[in-house]
Amino acid sequence: MVPKLHAKGASFKGAAAYLLHDKGRAVTSERVEWVETRNMATGDGRVAWKVMAATAMDADRLKRQAGVKNTGRKSTDAVLHFSLSWHPDEQERLSRDEMRRAALGAIRALGADDRQAMLICHNDEKQPHLHVMVNRISAEDGRMLPSSKEKLNLSRWAESYEKGRGAVLCEQRAINNAARDRDEFTRGKKDQARNIYEVEAAHGNSAQAKTVAAEQRRAAAVLAKAQRETKARHQQERAALDARHKQRQADAKEKAKTRMAAAVEKVRKDYRTSWERVFTDDQTERRDFAQREEKLMGRVHNALRSIDFGAIVQGRDRRKAISEAFQSFADAGKRLEGLKLAQERRAKELLARQRQAEREAVAPVRSEYKKSLHENRRVFAHERNDLALTQAMDTARIRAGWKSHHRNRAKAWENVASSDCKAVTANMARVDEAKKRLEALRHRQQGRDVTKDRERGE
């Protein structure tokens, strides 16, 4: 039993497209032997992945309903995909029920009993194998399935599974797990690509095959390192580009903010004289009001000045305005309140004119700021396109390097095969030559025996 965890992802659609169809983006599904689902009402794989995707997208609501706090690190990798492979010799005695039992055991080992899952059996390889796609998002409370110790848990489960089947086929796994039980740090060997493994295995352990394998591994390591470094550099370049764009935007904003503040301050400075005049006029009006209140005609004058005749004439709440006018004649407090309201109206009118002047003053600055933002976005788009082109060329060079490596590797192994053939041919020639010599010796011996027989007869 060989369990293999594949890279996590965010697309149920993409994973299902690969698992439910033949290889190479095919629309056919001849390699799919059977499909089953777990913790879902549907058994149709084409519907099941949509249910799983909908559950993952609904994680926040599920958490709220379950009273789970929406805290911690956020991840969009809700797709857990692993495969189980048996030895080709087990093909005959491996039933669907046994494969299902193994899949459920592996799911249980990962702590995903309650998660939605889909089991897909393929028949396109000589070794029986089963794929399992699990939704890491719980349909009950929206929580994400933790990924801690996944490989270790699967390794221990696989060892237990093989023991339960009566034979431990992967001895190295049992040795590694025993070392872990002794608290010794042990890391399993990195998986080797199947095509490379098969090519190396086909040529045995000859000195030339070992040399070629070592050389190809070194060449692949150099390319892989260059690929990693290129990818890291590309990420840094994109981050630097984004940072420059944001900095330009921030600089433009700060510059516009400074200029708008200066424009507003200039308007306020220009209006300061008007505010001083308003303050002086208000003070003078209050003194004159107090002096007029000492005489009857002065009180009448004050009452008339406190009445809002505009409200009466224009009909803005006329009844209320007339009532307040009569109260002004009889109440000193009302007359003073009317004076204050009149002064407040003048102050509001002056403030409205100032605010309008401020808006007009900052309008050109705001317009220029919007233009600068537009220009920055245009420059950013141009720089991003240039960077994308440059990085695409880097990626193409890396891809070309891998293609060249693959060609060289194939040629190297062809040479090994050719050398093997030559060696076999030479060996066969030596065997044939040895056979001929033996045959010649046999004939000579037979000739001697015949001669001796004749001599004895004579």
State pLDDT tens for residues 323-355. Answer: 555 555 455 566 667 778 888 888 999 999 999
Long-range residue pairs from 242-248, CB within 8 A, at least 24 positions apart, any chain? 244/383, 245/376, 245/380, 245/383, 248/376, 248/379, 248/380
Q: Residue 98: its pLDDT value, please? A: 95
Phi and psi at residue 84, in whole multiples of 5°? Answer: -120, 130
Rounded Cα gap, residues 259 and 214, in angstroms: 67
The 8-class DSSP code of residue 412 comes to H
Query: Cα 218 to chain center, whole Å?
Result: 31
Q: In what order do the strands lie in the sheet with 32-38?
A: 2-5, 79-85, 129-135, 117-122, 32-38
Element (H, E) at 300: helix 296-306
Q: Residue 361: its pLDDT value, please? A: 95
Rounded Cα gap, residues 110 and 42, in angstroms: 23
Q: Residue 261: its pLDDT value, please? A: 95
Q: Quick one: tokens of 160?
A: 């237990």
Strand residue runs (E) in 279-354: none
pTM above 0.75, yes or no: no
Encoded amino acid at 157, one letter: W
Q: Which residues contact 365 (CB under 8 A, 6 or more apart)?
A: 256, 259, 260, 263
Q: Residue 302: its pLDDT value, please? A: 54
Q: Residue 381: its pLDDT value, please? A: 96
Q: Are 37 and 48 in contact (CB under 8 A)?
A: yes
Torsion angle of alpha carbons 162, 165, 171, 174, nearest 10°? Answer: 50
Q: Residue 334: its pLDDT value, please? A: 66
**2-191, CATH topology level:** BirA Bifunctional Protein; domain 2 (3.30.930)
Parse the chain into domains and list their residue ranges: 2-191, 243-402
Gyration radius of the chain's alpha carbons: 45
Q: Residue 399: its pLDDT value, please? A: 94
Instruction: Give, in degrees to the nearest 5, the angle at Cα 442 between 441 and 444.
Output: 65
Q: Residue 226: its pLDDT value, please? A: 94
Q: Residue 195: its pLDDT value, please? A: 61
- Pick the closest to residue 99 from 115, 117, 85 (CA basis): 85
Instruction: Give, in degrees to the nearest 5, the angle at Cα 72 between 69 and 75.
Output: 110
Burial of 344 (0-12, 13-18, 19+ CB in 10 A): exposed
Q: Which residues contact 164 (CB under 8 A, 6 or more apart)?
A: none
Q: Which residue ranges of the chain lie beneath pLDDT 50? A: 309, 312-313, 329
Rounded Cα gap, residues 262 and 255, in angstroms: 11
Q: Are 120 and 20 in contact (CB under 8 A)?
A: yes
- Pick the closest to residue 170 from 82, 81, 84, 87 (CA basis): 87
Tabulate helix, strand, coil % of the chain (nearest 5): 70, 5, 20
Q: Residue 181: its pLDDT value, please? A: 86
Residues 44-59, buried b or exposed e (16+ Cβ, 10 A)? Answer: ebeebbebbbebbeeb
117: left (phi over 0), alpha (psi -120 to 50) or beta: beta
Q: Are 36 and 100 in contact (CB under 8 A)?
A: yes
Instruction: Give, in degrees to the nearest 5, the angle at Cα 118 between 114 and 120.
Output: 150
Q: Quick one: tokens of 225?
A: 């390192």
- Pick the closest to residue 242 from 394, 370, 383, 390 (CA basis): 383
Q: Quick one: tokens of 184?
A: 């010794």
The 8-class DSSP code of residue 141 comes to T
- Pick the closest to residue 358 from 276, 261, 278 (CA basis): 261
Q: Could you tell me which residues are beta bridge partners of residue 79?
A: 9, 135
| Residue with token string 């891809």 | 399
End-to-end CA, the chain: 79
